[in-house]
Amino acid sequence: MTESHEQTLSSKAADPLPPSSTLCGLLFRFVLGALLLAPLFPLSKHNYLLFHTIVEMLSVAVAVTIFSVGWNARSFARNNALLVIACTFLVVAGIDLLHTLTYRGMGVFPAWGPNPPTQFWIAARYFQSAGLLAAALLLGRGRSLHAFPVLAGTLGAGAVLAASIFLGVFPDCFLVGKGLTPYKVGSEYFISGLLVAAGIIFWRRRKHFASNIVPLLVGSLVLTVCSEMSFTLYADVYGFFNYLGHIFKFLSLILIYQALIKDSLRHPYQNLFADLVRAKEQAEEASRAKSEYLAKMSRALEERGRLLEQFDAVMNNVIEGIVISDFDGNIQTMNQAALKMHDFESPEQGRKHLSRFQKDFELFELDGGMLPIGQWPLSRILRGERFTDFEACLLNRKTGKRRIASYNGTLVRDKSGEAILAVVTIRDITNRKRSEEEIKMLNAELKKRAVELEGANRELEAFNYTVAHDLRKPLTVISGYSQVVRDMSAGTVNAKWTAYLQKIHDGTQRMSQLIDALLNFSRLARVEPQRERIDLSAVAQAAARELKLSEPERRVEFGISERVFVDGDANLLRVVLDNLLGNAWKYTGVREEAVIEFGTTEVEGKTACFVRDNGVGFTMEEAGKLFLPFERLRGTRDFKGFGIGLATVERIVRRHGGRVWAEGEPGKGATFYFTLGQQS
């Protein structure tokens, strides 16, 4: 069969006729049949028996024709439904013939009344509806049925059904004087239900027939249901509804004939090759499904390839070495970091059993003890252990190179929990360990130096006290004798010698104050601040009051911010403010109206306290010398002081975890800032 021919058959078998065309054709056949049967109505009024006989014999003839063509078409049609319909109508033809012969007035069975022909009628309809429902259910199901067993089975069933009537076993359907029995009426409704079910199934499985056959079949079933409903209404075998039921029955057979005989002969390709076309469509559908599956598999393989590339890239770019082994101890792969750690040039050098590594490598504990191969990281993993940060020294026997490594390892299991791989990660910590050793050595050295420094500090403190004690004694003698000489010579020596004696006395007093300042400064190196919550504003106000009392004649304006609270040592912070405010008081002495401020500000996101004045100021080039002991800036020699106050402030602030700095400008004053670490 050529491809073009096959496509033509496929289009004929698969493409349904337009619904409007099928409906019009069905309506035309119905009207034509009604016109042909119209003359039978007057005949039924004149001679109902003749009318009944003609209609029934025509029905029997059509049924036999349906069987004949359907039976002979079984070899090429291969349609189980058509075979069952053909065999069913052969039995229906036989039972309908018995119905005709037993009809009242025929004289074939003169002893029988109207009940047997009605029983034969119901039996034929039962058989017809059951056969059509079975045919509908067989569409597209299973393999082809064997024709002769089907024929034998249907004939046997028909014979049993007919015998039940002859033997009086079949239920009564018509009683003289009473009409139709409830069994007969109920059977008509039941038969109609079977026919409706068959019609629905035929319509749902219409793809198994040529497109114009199923509407005819469904139309035949509808007419058969109309026939059955008519036979539920008559009370006389010669009545109108009896006539109408026979007409509907005959028309339904004509439609079945049209569907299964005439249309099958007119369009043989549609029926002959329907299965072939369906098989071709199924093959095409399977081919499309296969193509989609192959495309999906191809995409999956591409995705897997990309994942493998990404995995390989990750493996070779991580800093830690990665070693993967099977459960038997055979190394499967190493990443670049692991290869470098073992001095391998290619992955092939590392693909060997664990036992072969003993030839080139040794493992030692950090204290120097050699590790047997049974205690190597991979051996422990293969025994089911899981560990992290196992540190050991790796020795390459060939190169003599030693590395300290940190090992982590675990087993990889499949979904069932069975171990399939062992993974070891290795991190080279040689430099870290070297740094740790250096830090330990530095800490030990620092501890040693701290002990030495502590001893030196104690010696220095003892020296300070000794010096202070040894210096105070002669200073006291000089100061005392100079005062005695001055008092004794009062009025006997000139004013010049009296001034000399006063300078000697003032010098000794200044020397004594310097010694006290030095002792206080040295003590700060040992004092640990006792932190508490302090109102620094109140401390500043107290210091300002004392300054005003010392020189009440000066015009000085103090601006002290309220509620400045800090965490610190109250005594030490009083020293800080005494020195800073005293410095400001001293260097604003040249101003007729001095201004001294205390408050807080934000510096680099932190709160800082400040003391600001409008005194003589200083240059920023000299700011670095302010907090050095005994340093005096240019232009400040005329102001009293030893150069210890700001150094004391710096040491106290540093002991609090803070810092102190200053900003100034010559002639425009200075500002000193300080922070205190954990400050509120």
Task: State how far the Cα of 188 lies from the Cα of 191, in Å rounded to an integer.
Answer: 5
Q: Model confidence at 612, in pLDDT bands (50, 70, 90)?
A: very high
pLDDT tens readout for residues 230-283: 766 665 555 667 667 777 777 777 776 666 655 455 554 454 445 556 667 777
- Count, residues in the chain: 680
SS3 of 125, please?
Answer: helix
pLDDT digits (tens, 9 = 90+) for 358-399: 888 989 888 888 889 888 998 888 888 888 888 899 988 888
Q: What does the pLDDT read at residue 316? A: 78
pLDDT tens for 160-184 read: 998 998 888 999 988 877 878 888 8
**pLDDT of 610 over the 90 cut:** yes
Residues 309-356 have pLDDT tens digits of 887 777 778 888 889 988 888 998 888 888 888 888 888 888 889 888
The DSSP call for residue 290 is H
Q: Where is average pLDDT lowest: 187-201, 491-505, 627-641?
A: 627-641
| Whole-angstrom distance, CA of residue 281 vs CA of residue 289 | 12
Whole-number pLDDT of residue 540: 93
Rounded-to-integer distance, Cα 99 and Cα 124, Å: 9
Specify which residues 404 forms β-bridges with. 393
Distance set, CA 72 to CA 147, 254, 451, 643 (Å): 10, 19, 123, 135
Angle between the 19-37 and 240-257 helix axes, to the nearest 10 degrees? 130
Predicted confidence at residue 220, as pLDDT, reads 75
Give the separation between CA 102 and CA 377, rounded to whole angstroms.
Answer: 103
Among 336, 334, 333, 341, smallest CA distance to 318 is for 336
Whether the Cβ atoms of residue 525 and residue 655 lie closer than 8 Å to each other:
no
pTM (2 d.p.): 0.39
pLDDT greater than 50 at residue 14: no
Measure the CA–CA gap between 279 and 294, rounded to whole angstroms. Answer: 22
617: left (phi over 0), alpha (psi -120 to 50) or beta: left
